[in-house]
Chains A and B, each alone.
Chain A
Amino acid sequence: MEAIVVENLTKHFRKAYDKTLKGFFISLAKGEKRYKEFTALQDVSFKVKQGESYAIIGKNGAGKSTLFKVLSGIIYPDSGRVEMNGKVAPLIELSAGLSRDLTGAENIRLNCAIFGLSKKRIDEVFDKIVAFSELEEFIHTPVKFYSSGMKARLGFSIAIHIDADIILIDEVLAVGDKDFKKKCYAKMEELRQSGKTLVVVSHSLKPLRKICDRALILDKGKVLDIGEINEMIDKYQEDKKPKKKKKGA
């Protein structure tokens, strides 16, 4: 069975000039177009099988985080179809879904509630989340005082404990220390064994070879290729060396 089906997905962003009513009226009076469009995803199609581990690789600004946001429903696509079969736990960019002013403990409860866990279930997983993140000492400290690695630990620990079927991991492991990374990779392997679907975005390609089965190369919002993980990583690294395309301003 397919866990994720994406067909002909396209997303344009509007680059707003001024996010105020004043700006709105000024540009209205001048009769200018209020925004220019930018295509972040163009005609993206792929499928991820249930229990599969899938990687998405691409340069900065290729649209990887945008794709994850569309998959998790945070932003709406302009056209195309997205089908997610199961509960999705998104871990998008470093701060994940953490609220700065709340403590670690409050963030755990808040996130569990957002993902629809019952009070009873929250109490059950709370200690597991704290234990996995190894943040016992700081759990009553507001998250704004956390280091990026600590936030990543908390975010990752929450995401793997909310009974999701599909876990989207965006570059969260980049800031973890060596021990935590190791623990995460082991956990991801374990999740995979238990039939969960993982989609991973990472710029550190080496670990992907071990964790993932297949990969998709995203280039300026378009799918360059889809295939077996090692092939794709080799291809991506080859592409990068000879031709250095200049980015338009």
Chain B
Amino acid sequence: MMLAYLTKYKELMYFLVHKELRIRYRNSLFGFFWTLLEPLGLMVIYTLVFGYLVNLNKGLPEGAYPLYVLSGLIPWTFFNNSVRKGTKALSSNASLIKKVYFPREIFPLTMLISNLVNFIPAFGLIMVMAVVTQQSIQWDQLALLPGIILIQSGFTLGIALLVSVLNVYYRDVEFIVNLLMRAWMYLCPIIYPVKMLFSTDADPIVQQFADLYFLNPMAVIISLYHGIFFPGQGVPAHPTIPGFWVIYTVLVTVILFLGAWYLFRKMNRRVGEVI
């Protein structure tokens, strides 16, 4: 069902993605590098604050903290931007939605695609950083990158579909989403090494909840990216089932996506009149 209109509306999606990217890059190569400045700037800030002041770099190789931050931050930014922009994807196109009909899934979908297009060169930046800071790259993990991106995209699109249509009905969804995304970021291993939670000198309360940590699919996904550069910081093995957390995340993604698709379809029926 999805592929059928993907081909029918490919011109429309191309137009919308192109428009998104052009706004971001302002038609220039400099504009493109400008977008890479944001994660680099955040990396410097986090390294100064959390790497040196708070010493969150325990268990990481010497001088690897900036790479650790960057390799979590860039996938997170992909998720964060897609969801935040996805929230407004329908409501900001009200003038169009009120006057013509076409599949409205296209709006959250183009948000995802344009952020994906941004993500790929940004991932190149992580690779450059790994070379610059002379960290080893786990090539077998890197080979799984397309799969990791696919899982992340599916999960992201599921959430974006849900929040985009909810935001049409209830405008304060946007604020709640912004708040929740901030909290969610701290529930992912971005500024702290994930192994810190499982070490014996962690706070007893943290140790107690550490087993639940990977119930958060984004924690698993970010750890999959970390696994490419830091073999010790990847997704932990499960005592009995190999690849348990990855299988879990794929399942959650599939269920979330189908549920979101169904709800989107259902709520879409009144979008044309309430928007």
Residues in chain A within 8 A of chain B (CB atoms):
13-14, 16, 19-24, 69, 72-76, 90, 92-93, 95-100, 102, 106, 109-119, 122
Bound CA span A110–B11, Å: 9
Bound CA span A144–B170, Å: 26
Q: Check B272 against A69 for contact (C-beta < 8 Å).
A: yes
Bound CA span A117–B11, Å: 8
Q: Check B169 against A19 for contact (C-beta < 8 Å).
A: yes
Counting chain B CB atoms within 10 Å of each CB, which of A72, A75, A92, A122 scores highest?
A: A75
B11, B14, B101, B171: which contacts A19 (Cβ < 8 A)?
B171
- B238 sits at the interface (CB 8 A): no
B8, B15, B101: which contacts A73 (Cβ < 8 A)?
B101
Q: What 9 new A-B contacts, CB under 8 Å, besides A95-B95, A114-B12, A117-B11?
A: A19-B171, A21-B170, A69-B273, A99-B96, A109-B15, A110-B12, A113-B15, A116-B9, A116-B12
Q: Which of chain B's residues have a CB closer than 8 A to the CB of A72?
A: 100-101
Q: Which 8 A-B pairs have the closest CB atoms?
A: A73-B101, A113-B12, A97-B100, A74-B272, A97-B99, A75-B272, A21-B170, A113-B11
Q: Which of chain B's residues have a CB closer than 8 A to the CB of A20?
A: 170-172
Bound CA span A113–B100, Å: 12
Interface string of B169-185 (1 = CB under 8 A from A): 11111001000000000
Q: Which of chain A's residues have a CB closer than 8 A to the CB of B102?
A: 114
Q: Check A24 against B96 for contact (C-beta < 8 Å).
A: no
Counting chain B CB atoms within 10 Å of each CB, which of A24, A69, A74, A118 scores highest?
A: A74
Q: Check A113 against B9 for contact (C-beta < 8 Å).
A: yes
Q: Which of chain A's residues have a CB closer than 8 A to the CB of B95?
A: 95, 97-100
B99, B169, B171: which contacts A95 (Cβ < 8 A)?
B99
Q: Check A74 against B173 for contact (C-beta < 8 Å).
A: no
Q: Which of chain A's residues have a CB closer than 8 A to the CB of B16?
A: 110
Bound CA span A113–B102, Å: 10
Interface string of B3-17 (1 = CB under 8 A from A): 000001101101110
- B58 sits at the interface (CB 8 A): no
Counting chain A CB atoms within 10 Å of each CB, which of B95, B97, B173 scores highest?
A: B95
Chain B nearest CB, measured from A23 CB (Å): 8
Q: Which of chain B's residues have a CB closer than 8 A to the CB of A69?
A: 272-273
Q: Check A110 against B15 for contact (C-beta < 8 Å).
A: yes
Q: Check B170 against A19 for contact (C-beta < 8 Å).
A: yes
Bound CA span A225–B98, Å: 28
Q: Which of B1-49 contact A (CB under 8 A)?
A: 8-9, 11-12, 14-16, 19
